C-alpha cells in the first residue's frame, strides 16, 4: 500500500470486518435499527423537537432520562451477551462447540463486563442522580448545567465507540479490566484493546466531570435552611459518591492513558520487557476499581433509604448512623483495593491488612441493612413494586455480602479467586445492590419525571422474575467455582459440570423474562398513561421536596425556592397544612439556555478516539481542535441564561399543580 | 388471587428450586470441599467457620425481614404504627456492636491464617521437593531439577511430602490452582512466585489456570498425580532412562503458542533451563521476586 | 436583557468551588503519574539512569522562568482587579511569554534526550519521566491558550465582572501548575542525585 493510502486509512482493512454469523447479525442489525429510528423521526417530523428538547437540553431531568435510555439499551445488549455466554457454557463440554470460538467468547465476556459496569450501572446511577438530585435538595438545576450536558455526551460518545467495535474491528479480549501484558501490543496488536481503552477513557472523563458537578451542586445549590444534616440520605449518598469519583477517576484516566501510550507510542509502562511493570497496572486499575464499586452501590443505598421510608410511611431509622456509615464506607473503600489480587504474592502482612480492612467495610454496610429493616418495623408498609425490589435486594445483597466476607479472608480467597465463585459474588452485589436499587428508584420517581406512574403489578412481576432468575443463574456458579470452574471459561472437560451450567443458563433466560416484564411495564404504562396519571404531584404521600411540585416536574423544578425547616420537610409541611404559596411569593428566576456544546464536545472526543484506534492521525487534529474551540467559546460565553418572569411562573405553577 | 394461594405458589417455587439444587449436587465432586492436601484442608475449615460466623448476621436479617414484612403491612393496620419513631441508641448500639464483634473475631482469623497459609510459607515436615513451573501459551511445564526430569501438563508428586512450587511464565500473566491441594498463585514473566502444597491422598487432581491469557486459556489445565514415593521414584527413573530430552531448543518448540493438553515426560538435559527462562525475561533493575513487587507501589 | 449582578456572583461562587475541586482531581492525576515514575525509576533497561541524564541547572532555569511567570501573573490579577487595563494586560502577556519560554526549554530538553537515544521508548524509567513532565507541559500549553483567549477578551470587552471571574480562575490554575512543577523539579530532577 502506498504511503498516502496508509496515511488516509491508517490501519483499517477488510480483515477487521466481522466474520461469524452472530456478530454479522449484530453488525447489520445495529445500523439498520438506527436508520429505522432516524426514518421514524423524519416521518413524524420530530428532528427539531429532538434537537431542542433533548440533544441540546441542559435540564438535569432530561439528561437523566437520556442516561437511563442509553443504560437500558446497553443493558439489553449486555444481557444478550450474557445469554450467549451461558448458551456457550451450556453446550461447550469436551469436544462440543458453542456458538463462539475462544477468542470471540473472550471478546463477548469483555464486552459484557465493560458495558454492564461503565454504560449500564454508571448510566443508571448518573441517570437517577440527574433525575432527582436537584429536586431532593430544592434546587432548580445542577451547579453546572452545560458541564452536565458535556458529561452525558462524553458518556454517549464512549458508548457509541464501544459499540462500533462490534461492527468494525472487534473488541478487547482481555477481560473487563484488561490486564497487561495480555492487553499489550505483544499479545494483542489489533484495534480491540484500543476500542476498550478509548471508549472507557472518554466515558470516564465524563464521569469525572460529573463528580465535580454533583459535589458542587450539593454544596452550593441546597435550598435555604437545608443544612447537611437535614438533607435526605440520597443526596448524602451522592455527596459521598462524588468524593469517590473525584478521588478515583483521575487514576483511571492515567492508567488507561498509559496503557494507550504503551500501545500507540511504544512506551514501556506495563510491558513485560524494557523495564515495564504489569503489576503497577494492576495496582493502579484497582485503586480506581474498588472505589468504583462503591460509586455504583452507594447511590443505590441512597435510593433505598428514600424508598423504604416513603412506603413504610415512617421516618428513616437512624439517620445519623446512616450518614456515619456512608462516610465510613467512603474512607475504607480506598484502602482495600489489594484484595483483588491477594494471589499476587504480596506477603502475609500486606494481605492480612487489606483482608481485615475489607471485612471492616461489612460493618457499616450491615448497619445500613438493619436501619432499613427497623424503618419498616413499626411502620405501615405499602408493598409496591419498589418495595419488592427492596426485598429482592436484601436477600440477594446479604448473600453477596456473606460471600464477600468469605473472600476477604486471604487464605480463603486463594481457593476462590478468579473462579465462578467470584463471578457469582460480584453479580450478587452489583445486580442485587445496584440494579435492583436503581430499578426501585426508577419506579419510585418515574411519575415525578413523566407525570404518570408505572404499572405496579408488572413491576412486581419483573422483580420476582429477576429474583428467581438470579438464584437459578448464580447459585450454580458458586458451586461450580468450588468445583474448580474458573471465570471466563469458554469450554471445559468435566461433563459433571454441564447440568449446573445449563441451570445457570435457564436462570439467565428467566432474568431476560424479568427484563421483558420491565419493558412491558414501561410500554403498558405509556399506553395507559391517562389512567396512571399523577394528578397531585405526590402519588406516594412522599416525604421529600420533589413531591411538593407538580408532576411532571417543571423544567425549573421549583417555581418558588422552598425554605426548609427540618428533615423530610414536605411530610411535615403537609401535616401542618402549609403547602400553598401566595402570588406575591413568586419572583423572576434565571435559567440556563440550551446548549449544543455538550454534543459537539462528545462528537469531537468520539472522533479523536476513533482516530487513535485506527491511527488516522489526520483526523485526530481536527477532532481535538473541535473540542478545544467549542470549549473556548463556551468559557467566553456571557449570555447563557434566560429569564422566566414571576407572572409566567405563577400561571404555569397553578395550572400544573393540584386543582 | 388470594393471599394464601400466592403464599403457596411462592413456597412451591422455593422448594422446587431447593429440590433442583439438591438434585444437581448429587454425586458431585466439589474439590474445594473435599480436600486432598493440608492447605486445602485448612481452607475448608476456615470456610465453614466463616460461614457459621456469618449466620449471626444473616439469620437476624432474614428473620427480621420476614417478621416486619408480615406484621407491618399497611393492610393489616399495625396497631403500634409509630411514624415518628426513628432513633434508638440502644438498638443501634446492638447492630454496630454485634458486627464489630464478629469482624473482630474474623479479623483475628484473617491475620492468623494470612500467615499460616501464606503460599510462600514452607510446609512443616521433610525437606520440600522443588518443582519449577513455567506457564506457557497454553500449557504448564513442570521441571524437577533435583530429579533431572520434567513433565508437561502433569505434575506427578509423592504423597505426604511438602512440595515447593516456584513459578514463572513466558506468556501473559497466568495463575496455577489445584483446588484439591489448596491455593493458587499468579505467575508472571521475568518474575518468580511460590506456592507450597502437600498432598495427603493418592489420586489425580485437576489443576487450572485462573487468569485469562489468550485463546487457549480454558484448555490450560494440568493434573496433579499424587502417588506413593516409590511410584514417584519409579516415574523419575523411567523418565530418565528414556531418551526424551528437554533442552533449550526443545523448550522453544514447546513454548510456541498452541493448545496442548497431552501429558509428556522429559529427561532434563539442561538443569539451568528454568533460570535461563526466568532471567532472560527479567527487567533490568527490577527485583526477581514477586513477593516484593506490589509492595513497591503503595509503600 | 442582561443577567443580574447577583446571578454572576452566585455563578462565580459555584465556578470557584468547582474549579478548586477540578484542581484536586488534577492533583490525584499528577500523584498517579508521580507514583508511576517512582515505581519505574529503577527500571532503566540498559538506557541511561536519572542521574546520568538530567542536568539540574537546566531544570533550575525552567523553574526560575515558571516562578517569574507566577509572580507576573499575580501582579496582572492585581492590576486588573484595580481596573488598570493596559498594565494588567501587559503583565498577562509577560506571564504567557515566560510560560512559552518554559515550554520551549522543555521541548528543547526532550529533543536533546531523544537525540541522545533516550526516548520514551527506551525504558520504563523514561516512559515514566516523559509522561509526567509532558503532562505538566500539556497543562502549561492549555494555560497559555486560555491566557491568550482571556487577553483577547479583556482587550475587546474590557474588565467586566465575567472577565475578572475568569482571570482569577486562570491565575489559580497557573499557580497550581507552578506548584506541580516545584514537585517535579524536586522529585524528578533533584531527586535523581539523592
8 Å CB contact between B148 and B268: yes
- In angstroms, the CA A526 to CA B143 distance is 67
Cα distance between residue B65 and residue B62, in whole Å: 5
A232, A453, A522, A647 from A384: Cα distances, Å: 21, 12, 16, 39
Tens-place pLDDT, residues B20-70? 999 999 888 899 999 999 999 999 999 999 999 999 999 999 999 999 999
- Point out the residue among A274, A383, A419 whose CB comes nearest to the CB of B210: A419
Predicted confidence band of residue B240 (pLDDT cuts 50, 70, 90): very high
**A425-483, pLDDT tens digit by residue?**
999 999 999 999 999 999 999 999 999 999 999 999 999 999 999 999 999 999 999 99
**Segment among A513-522, A585-594, B113-122 with least mean pLDDT:** A585-594
Work out the pLDDT band at A532, boundaries 50, 70, 90: very high
Instruction: Quote the mean pLDDT of chain C.
Output: 93
Residues forming beta bridges with residue B206, ordered by sequence position: B223
pLDDT of residue A650: 85
CA distance B179 to B187: 17
pLDDT digits (tens, 9 = 90+) for A129-171: 999 999 999 999 999 999 999 999 999 999 999 999 988 999 9
Q: What percent of chain A has pLDDT over 90?
A: 85
Chain A residues touching B255 at Cβ < 8 A:
none
**Alpha helices in chain B, H assignment, sequence order:** 3-25, 38-71, 89-116, 229-241, 248-255, 273-280
| C-alpha distance from A264 to closest chain C C-alpha (Å) | 11
Tell me the residues of C at the B interface, defined by beta carbons under 8 Å apart.
35, 39, 42-46, 123-124
Interface test with A, best of C30, C50, C119, C127 (most A CBs within 10 A): C127
Residues of chain B whose C-beta is under 8 A from some C-beta in C? Answer: 283-286, 296-297
pLDDT for A23 equals: 83
Confidence of residue B286 (pLDDT cuts 50, 70, 90): very low
State the count of interchain CB pairs (< 8 A) between A and B.
329
Q: Which residue of A has its CA nearest to B175?
A: A343
Across the interface, whether the CB atoms of C120 and A266 are under 8 A apart is answered: yes
> What pLDDT score was predicted for residue C176?
97
Domain span at C66: 3-193
Give the number of other Cβ atoms within 10 Å of residue C10's Cβ.
15
pLDDT tens digit sequence for C174-190? 999 999 999 999 999 99
Report residue B285's pLDDT band, with 50, 70 and 90 as the boundaries. Answer: very low
- Where is B196: in which H helix or E strand? strand B193-197
Instruction: Check residues C6 and C102 and name the one with the higher pLDDT.
Output: C102
Cβ–Cβ below 8 Å for B85 and A378: yes
Surface of B (111-170) touching A: CB under 8 A: 111, 113-121
Interface predicted TM-score (ipTM) of this complex, two decimals? 0.96
**Is B292's pLDDT higher than 50?**
no
Contact C22 A255 (CB under 8 A): no
B2 has a chain A CB within 8 A of its CB: no
CB-nearest partner of A275 from C21, C25, C123: C123
Q: pLDDT tier at B295 (50, 70, 90 boundaries)?
A: very low
Instruction: Considering only the beta carbons, identify the residue of A406, A417, A496 that sits closest to B184.
Output: A417
CA atoms within 13 A on the CB side of B58: 16
The per-residue pLDDT for C5 is 72
Cβ contacts of A140 on chain C, cutoff 8 Å: none
Reported pTM: 0.95
What are the angstrom distances between the C-alpha of A61 and each of A129, A203, A656, B83, B265? 9, 20, 17, 31, 67
Sign of the Cα pseudo-torsion (C142, C147, C150, C156, in order) = negative
**Confidence at residue B299, expressed as pLDDT on a 0 to 100 scale:** 27
**CA separation for the pair B165, A45 (Å, rounded):** 70
Residues on chain A touching C13 (C-beta within 8 angstroms): 220
* Order of strands, sheet of B129-136, starting from the edge strand that comes earlier in the sequence: B193-197, B163-170, B129-136, B139-144, B149-152, B264-268, B245-246
- CB–CB contacts below 8 A, B to C: 17
Instruction: Give the one of A246, A268, A590 whose C-beta lies nearest to C24's C-beta.
Output: A246
Q: Interface partners of C (3+ CB pairs, < 8 Å)?
A: A, B
Compute the mean pLDDT over every residue in chain B, rounded to the nearest whole number. 91
Partners of C125 on chain A (C-beta within 8 Å) are: 275
Contact C18 A144 (CB under 8 A): yes
pLDDT at A1: 58
CATH number, residue C60: 1.20.120.80
By residue count, chain A amounts to 659
A381-409 mean pLDDT: 95
Partners of residue C151 in chain A, C-beta under 8 Å: none
* C43: nearest CB among A275, A635, A643: A275
Q: Distance between CA atoms of A445 and A450, rounded to whole angstroms? A: 9
pLDDT in tens, C102-140: 999 999 999 999 999 999 999 999 999 999 999 999 999
Give the per-residue pLDDT at C54. 93
Which of the residue ranges A28-37, A631-640, B74-83, B195-204 has the most confident prediction, judged by mean pLDDT? Answer: B195-204
Handedness of CA A607, A610, A614, A617 (dihedral sign): positive
- Which residues make Cβ contacts (< 8 Å) with residue B54, sequence separation at least 6? A402, A405, A406, B102
For residue A145, which of A209, A82, A87 has the smallest C-alpha distance? Answer: A209
- Please give the pLDDT value at position A635: 85
| A266 CA: distance to closest CA in chain C (Å) | 5
Residue A561 burial (C-beta neighbours within 10 Å; 0-12, 13-18, 19+): middle
Residue B155, SS3 per DSSP = strand
Contact C42 B286 (CB under 8 A): yes
> CA nearest C19 in A: which residue?
A212
* Radius of gyration for the alpha carbons in chain A, expressed in angstroms and rounded: 25
pLDDT score at A658: 47
A21 CA to chain C: closest CA distance, Å? 40
pLDDT band with cut points at 50, 70 and 90 for residue C3: low
Structural domains counted in chain C: 1
- Residue A5's pLDDT is 86
Task: Please answer yes or no on whether B172 and A484 come within 8 Å at the CB atom.
Answer: no
Mean pLDDT of all residues in A279-303? 96
In this predicted structure, the answer to whether residue A620 has a pLDDT above a threshold of 90 is yes
Of B96, B194, B218, nearest to A491 by CB-CB distance is: B218
Q: How far apart are CA B46 and CA A131, in angstroms?
A: 45
- Kindly list the residues from chain C whose CB atom is less than 8 angstroms away from the CB atom of residue A635: 146, 149, 166
Find residues 219-238 of chain B whose CB sits inside 8 Å of chain A: 219, 221
Q: List the subunits that have 3+ CB pairs under 8 angstroms with A.
A: B, C
Of A213, A268, A635, the CB nearest to C123: A268
- Report the alpha-carbon distance of residue C35 to residue C57 in Å, rounded: 24
Amino acid at each position: 500500500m502506498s504511503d498516502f493510502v496508509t496515511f488516509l486509512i491508517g490501519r483499517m482493512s477488510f480483515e477487521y470486518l466481522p466474520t461469524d454469523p452472530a456478530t454479522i447479525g449484530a453488525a447489520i442489525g445495529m445500523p439498520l435499527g438506527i436508520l429505522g429510528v432516524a426514518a421514524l423521526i423524519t416521518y413524524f417530523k420530530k428532528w427539531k423537537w429532538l434537537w431542542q428538547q433533548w440533544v441540546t437540553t441542559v435540564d438535569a431531568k432530561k439528561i437523566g432520562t437520556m442516561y437511563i435510555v442509553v443504560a437500558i439499551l446497553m443493558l439489553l445488549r449486555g444481557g444478550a451477551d450474557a445469554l450467549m455466554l451461558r448458551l456457550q457454557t451450556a453446550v461447550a463440554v469436551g469436544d462440543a462447540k458453542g456458538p463462539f470460538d475462544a477468542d470471540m467468547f473472550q471478546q463477548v465476556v469483555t464486552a459484557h463486563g465493560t458495558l454492564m459496569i461503565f454504560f449500564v450501572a454508571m448510566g443508571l446511577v448518573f441517570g437517577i442522580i440527574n433525575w432527582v438530585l436537584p429536586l431532593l435538595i430544592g434546587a432548580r438545576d445542577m451547579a453546572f448545567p452545560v458541564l452536565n450536558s458535556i458529561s452525558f455526551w462524553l458518556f454517549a460518545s464512549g458508548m457509541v465507540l464501544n459499540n462500533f467495535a462490534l461492527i468494525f474491528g472487534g473488541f478487547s479480549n482481555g477481560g473487563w479490566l484488561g490486564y497487561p501484558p495480555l492487553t499489550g501490543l505483544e499479545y494483542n496488536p489489533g484495534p480491540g484493546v484500543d476500542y476498550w481503552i478509548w471508549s472507557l477513557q472518554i466515558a470516564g472523563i465524563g464521569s469525572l466531570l460529573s463528580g465535580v458537578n454533583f459535589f458542587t451542586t450539593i454544596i452550593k445549590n441546597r435550598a435555604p435552611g437545608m443544612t447537611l444534616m437535614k438533607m435526605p440520605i440520597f443526596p448524602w449518598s451522592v455527596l459521598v459518591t462524588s468524593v469517590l469519583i473525584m478521588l478515583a477517576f483521575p487514576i483511571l484516566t492515567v492508567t488507561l492513558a498509559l496503557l494507550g501510550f504503551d500501545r500507540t507510542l511504544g512506551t514501556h509502562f506495563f510491558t513485560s520487557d524494557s523495564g515495564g511493570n504489569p503489576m503497577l497496572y494492576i495496582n493502579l486499575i484497582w485503586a480506581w476499581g474498588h472505589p468504583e464499586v462503591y460509586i455504583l452501590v452507594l447511590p443505590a443505598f441512597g435510593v433505598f433509604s428514600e424508598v423504604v421510608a416513603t412506603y413504610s410511611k415512617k421516618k428513616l431509622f437512624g439517620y445519623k448512623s446512616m450518614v456515619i456509615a456512608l462516610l465510613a464506607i467512603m474512607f475504607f473503600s480506598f484502602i482495600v483495593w489489594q484484595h483483588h489480587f491477594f494471589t499476587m504474592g504480596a506477603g502475609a502482612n500486606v494481605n492480612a491488612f487489606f483482608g481485615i480492612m475489607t471485612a471492616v467495610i461489612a460493618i457499616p454496610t450491615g448497619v445500613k441493612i438493619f436501619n432499613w429493616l427497623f424503618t419498616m418495623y413499626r411502620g405501615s408498609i405499602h408493598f409496591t413494586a419498589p418495595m419488592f425490589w427492596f426485598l429482592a435486594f436484601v436477600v440477594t445483597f446479604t448473600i453477596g455480602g456473606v460471600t464477600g466476607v468469605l473472600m476477604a479472608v486471604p487464605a480463603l480467597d486463594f481457593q476462590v479467586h478468579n473462579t465462578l465463585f467470584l463471578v457469582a459474588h460480584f453479580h450478587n452485589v452489583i445486580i442485587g445492590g445496584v440494579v435492583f436499587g436503581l430499578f426501585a428508584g426508577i419506579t419510585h420517581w418515574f411519575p415525578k419525571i413523566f407525570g404518570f406512574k408505572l404499572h405496579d403489578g408488572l413491576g412486581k412481576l419483573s422483580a420476582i422474575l429477576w429474583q428467581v432468575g438470579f438464584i437459578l443463574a448464580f447459585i450454580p456458579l458458586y458451586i461450580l467455582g468450588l468445583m474448580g470452574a474458573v471465570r471466563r471459561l469458554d469450554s471445559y472437560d468435566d461433563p459433571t459440570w454441564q447440568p449446573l451450567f445449563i441451570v445457570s443458563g435457564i436462570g439467565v433466560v428467566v432474568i431476560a423474562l424479568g427484563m421483558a416484564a420491565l419493558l412491558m411495564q414501561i410500554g403498558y404504562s405509556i399506553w395507559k398513561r391517562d389512567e396512571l396519571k399523577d394528578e397531585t404531584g405526590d402519588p406516594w404521600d412522599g416525604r421529600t421536596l420533589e413531591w411538593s411540585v407538580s408532576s411532571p416536574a417543571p423544567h425549573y423544578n421549583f417555581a418558588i425556592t422552598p425554605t426548609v425547616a427540618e428533615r423530610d420537610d414536605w411530610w411535615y409541611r403537609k401535616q401542618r397544612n402549609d403547602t400553598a404559596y401566595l402570588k406575591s411569593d413568586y419572583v423572576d428566576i434565571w435559567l440556563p439556555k440550551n446548549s449544543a456544546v455538550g454534543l459537539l464536545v462528545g462528537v469531537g472526543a468520539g472522533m479523536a478516539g476513533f482516530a487513535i484506534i485506527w491511527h488516522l492521525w489526520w483526523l485526530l487534529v481536527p477532532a481535538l481542535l473541535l473540542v478545544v474551540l467549542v470549549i473556548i467559546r463556551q468559557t467566553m460565553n456571557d449570555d447563557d441564561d434566560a429569564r422566566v418572569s414571576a407572572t409566567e411562573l405563577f400561571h404555569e405553577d397553578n395550572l400544573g399543580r393540584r386543582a | 388471587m388470594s393471599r394464601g394461594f400466592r403464599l403457596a405458589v411462592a413456597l412451591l417455587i422455593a422448594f422446587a428450586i431447593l429440590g433442583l439444587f439438591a438434585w444437581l449436587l448429587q454425586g458431585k465432586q466439589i474439590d474445594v470441599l473435599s480436600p486432598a492436601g493440608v492447605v486445602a484442608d485448612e481452607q475448608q475449615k476456615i470456610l465453614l467457620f466463616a460461614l457459621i460466623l456469618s449466620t449471626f448476621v444473616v439469620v437476624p436479617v432474614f428473620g427480621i425481614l420476614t417478621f416486619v414484612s408480615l406484621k407491618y403491612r399497611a393492610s393489616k393496620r399495625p396497631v403500634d404504627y409509630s411514624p415518628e419513631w426513628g432513633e434508638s441508641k440502644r438498638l443501634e448500639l446492638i447492630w454496630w456492636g454485634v458486627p464489630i464483634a464478629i469482624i473482630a473475631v474474623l479479623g483475628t482469623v484473617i491475620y492468623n491464617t494470612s500467615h499460616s497459609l501464606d503460599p510462600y510459607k514452607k510446609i512443616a515436615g521433610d525437606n520440600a521437593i522443588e518443582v519449577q513451573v513455567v506457564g506457557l501459551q497454553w500449557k504448564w511445564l513442570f521441571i524437577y531439577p533435583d530429579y533431572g526430569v520434567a513433565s508437561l501438563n502433569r505434575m506427578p508428586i509423592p504423597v505426604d511430602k511438602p512440595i515447593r512450587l516456584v513459578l514463572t511464565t513466558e506468556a501473559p500473566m497466568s495463575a496455577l490452582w489445584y483446588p484439591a491441594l489448596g491455593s493458587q498463585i499468579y505467575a508472571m514473566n521475568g518474575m518468580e512466585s511460590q506456592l507450597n502444597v502437600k498432598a495427603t491422598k493418592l489420586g489425580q487432581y485437576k489443576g487450572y489456570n485462573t487468569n485469562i491469557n489468550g485463546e487457549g486459556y480454558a484448555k490450560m489445565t494440568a493434573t496433579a498425580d499424587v502417588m506413593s514415593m516409590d511410584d514417584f521414584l519409579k516415574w523419575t527413573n523411567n523418565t530418565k532412562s528414556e531418551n526424551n530430552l528437554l533442552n533449550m531448543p526443545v523448550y522453544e518448540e514447546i513454548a510456541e503458542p498452541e493448545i496442548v493438553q497431552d501429558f509428556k515426560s522429559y529427561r532434563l538435559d539442561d538443569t539451568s533451563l528454568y533460570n535461563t527462562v526466568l532471567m532472560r525475561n527479567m527487567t533490568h533493575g527490577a527485583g526477581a521476586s514477586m513477593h516484593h513487587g506490589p509492595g513497591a507501589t503503595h509503600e | 436583557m442582561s443577567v443580574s449582578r447577583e446571578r454572576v456572583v452566585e455563578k462565580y461562587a459555584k465556578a470557584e468551588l468547582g474549579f478548586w475541586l477540578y484542581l484536586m482531581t488534577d492533583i490525584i492525576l499528577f500523584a498517579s503519574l508521580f507514583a508511576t515514575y517512582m515505581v519505574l525509576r529503577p527500571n532503566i533497561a540498559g538506557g541511561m539512569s536519572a542521574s546520568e541524564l538530567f542536568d539540574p541547572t537546566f531544570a533550575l532555569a525552567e523553574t526560575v522562568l515558571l516562578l517569574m511567570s507566577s509572580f507576573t501573573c499575580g501582579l496582572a490579577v492585581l492590576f486588573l482587579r484595580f481596573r488598570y487595563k493596559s498594565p494588567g494586560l501587559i503583565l498577562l502577556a509577560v506571564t504567557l511569554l515566560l510560560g512559552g519560554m518554559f515550554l520551549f526549554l522543555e521541548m528543547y530538553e526532550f529533543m536533546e534526550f531523544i537525540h541522545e537515544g533516550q526516548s520514551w521508548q527506551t525504558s520504563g524509567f523514561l516512559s515514566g519521566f516523559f509522561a509526567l513532565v509532558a503532562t505538566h507541559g500539556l497543562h502549561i500549553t492549555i494555560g497559555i491558550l486560555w491566557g491568550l483567549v482571556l487577553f483577547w477578551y479583556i482587550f475587546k470587552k474590557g474588565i467586566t465582572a465575567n472577565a475578572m471571574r475568569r482571570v482569577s480562575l486562570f491565575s489559580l490554575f497557573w499557580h497550581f501548575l507552578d506548584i506541580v512543577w516545584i514537585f517535579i523539579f524536586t522529585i524528578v530532577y533533584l531527586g535523581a542525585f539523592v
